[in-house]
Amino acid sequence: MDIFDQNLDQGRGAPLADRMRPRTLDEFVGQAHIVGPGKLLRRAIEADQLGSLILYGPPGSGKTTLARIIAHMTSASFIQVNAVSSGVKELRKVIEDAESRLKYYNQRTIVFVDECHAFNKSQQDVLLPAVERGIIIFIGATTENPYFEMNGALISRSRIFQLEALRDDDVREVLQRALADLERGLGKFAVKLDEEALEHLVKTANGDARSALNALELAVLSTPPGKDGIRHVTLEVAEDSIQRRAVRYDKGRDRHYDVISAFIKSIRGSDPDAALYWYARMTYAGEDQRFIVRRLIVHASEDIGMADPQAMLMAHAAANALEWVGLPEARIPIAQCIIYLATAPKSNSVITAIDAALKDVETMRNEPVPSHLRDTSYPGAKMLGHTGYKYPHNYPGHWVEQQYLPENVRRRKYYRPSDQGFEAKLDPPGSSSRKS
């Protein structure tokens, strides 16, 4: 079944975004890094010498459009498979037919799977041998990171091309083409699109051509012509047509982890403005605020630690404020905490210390607790040799030298204060510097 029938492309009921899909590489807008003149993917498409590939990128960046262009330009049989509704039985039939075409007609088969991350393991396992043997050429399109969602063996046999969100200039060009196109676009209407309305559509689409075209179509079709027959699309109309910016953020998937990673790295890098921006991105997209404050608590110890012990209190205060106050008000104490953590002195000595201790426990013999540190609260403890403990408060400075570690790690030093903030003032009585 070939889903790329031109008659369907130009059907009267098709939305503008579908009608305006580029039909050739010359019409294609954006992604010059992979389909620009001389680029590998463009050369492969033009030479009809494609291997298996995965197109990975955000919505509206041109993944399905590229697949349609390939369908129009290839001499191979082009088949679309639905990742959700096509079971193992249907896939085996596709592969069987592809094998017959290759055997009897020497014709290759391209199997295109839109949103291929929805393929389960069984479906991917069925495709894999056919891809390995060259019976089919697999083309997948996905908005999700294929390294997270796809079978590693299938990924290793496919070349991954990452598409980026379209630039504002690209989106602007797409909209202007749609307004001028008499055959597939809105050229049959007399439209006056105010410059500020155009810019609002461009900016709010956030690099998604489909979103921009849908909004433009709604704006034009919902605006009645004036006495002069012109449909005047103002900023107010544009705002009604695309009211909310579509933030690309999918909780639980790669963009979720990318944004939280940028958030934490901004705090670690002492950039409060960047940290607040990423927090705003997560909040606007509906991220669970408890997830955010949990990360702040971890960060307060992991990257600030004893350089500013108040950081942990601030993080817990933000978590407490969230529970007691709730959104939207809690955004303020959370933001205050973010600013505090970002501007606090940094030290990772706490995580270095505990990780070093854990490594020794994991890799070295766990020797007995020194006898003078063992419990003496039960009868017979002294008879077992649990004696010799020196009570620090009985000594000047409330400190006395004695061994607290097992013999095999007695010279280990896990906590090494940095020279940052409060930590620079620390000189534990039992430290090597005090002993020397």
Residue at 385 is within a domain: yes
Angle at Cα 21 formed by Cα 19 and Cα 26, nearest 5°? 135
Residue at 9 is within a domain: no
Residue at 23 is within a domain: no
Domain identity same for 89 and 58: yes
Tell me, what's the pLDDT at 268? 93
Question: 162, 179, 196 — which closes off a domain?
Answer: 162
Instruction: Count up the domains in the chain and report the number.
Output: 4
Per-residue model confidence as pLDDT tens digits over 170-221: 999 999 999 999 999 999 999 999 998 998 899 888 888 999 999 999 999 9
Domain identity same for 376 and 390: yes
Cβ within 8 Å of residue 318, ≥6 positions away: 293, 296, 330, 333, 334, 336, 337
Tell me, what's the pLDDT at 321? 92
Domain identity same for 318 and 297: yes
Domain identity same for 288 and 325: yes
Tell me, what's the pLDDT at 7? 44
Which domain range does residue 264 map to?
254-343
CA distance 300 to 309: 8
CA distance 97 to 148: 31
Residue at 111 is within a domain: yes
Which CATH number does the domain housing residue 397 bear?
Answer: 1.10.3710.10
Tell me, what's the pLDDT at 127? 87
Prior bond to 328 cis, omega within 30?
Answer: yes
Question: 127, 162, 197 — which closes off a domain?
Answer: 162
Domain identity same for 39 and 126: yes
Domain identity same for 37 and 129: yes
Tell me, what's the pLDDT at 6? 46
Tell me, what's the pLDDT at 11? 43
In this structure, the number of other CB atoms found within 10 A of the CB of residue 312 comes to: 19
Domain identity same for 283 and 405: no
Spatial contact of 159 and 52, defined as CB atoms under 8 Å apart: yes
Residue at 8 is within a domain: no
Tell me, what's the pLDDT at 360? 86
Domain identity same for 235 and 268: no
Question: 185, 212, 241 — which closes off a domain?
Answer: 241
Tell me, what's the pLDDT at 73? 87
Q: Which residues of the chain have pLDDT under 70?
A: 1-13, 243-255, 427-436
